[in-house]
Amino acid sequence: MTTVTVHEAKTNLSKLIAEVLAGGDVVIARGKEPVARLVPIAEVNKHARRVPGRLKGLVAIDERFFEPLPPEELDRWNGEKD
């Protein structure tokens, strides 16, 4: 795993992208604290695949869903009460 600072990442972005595409792992840090990881876009997309109907039969919505919220809860949603 390669760890670079934000400045190094900006300076060597092309090299870091090549490293990631070759299977490497690149972490970008602010000072000594890691804040981001550079990954190939294919890896990101495989987790984001949507399948219609995936939760069919697992989620149930009854008539209460359509009832108005109680005034106290509605106030909280509107940020009027803590």
Percent of the chain surpassing pLDDT 70:
89
Per residue in 34-71, pLDDT tens?
Answer: 999 998 886 656 666 778 888 889 988 899 999 999 99
> Phi and psi (nearest 5°) for 7?
-60, -45
Q: What is the pTM of this model?
A: 0.51
Determine how β-strand 2-5 pairs with β-strand 26-30: parallel
Q: Share the mean pLDDT of the chain.
A: 88
Domains, the chain: 2-77 (3.40.1620.10)
The encoded tokens of residue 28 equal: 């970008």
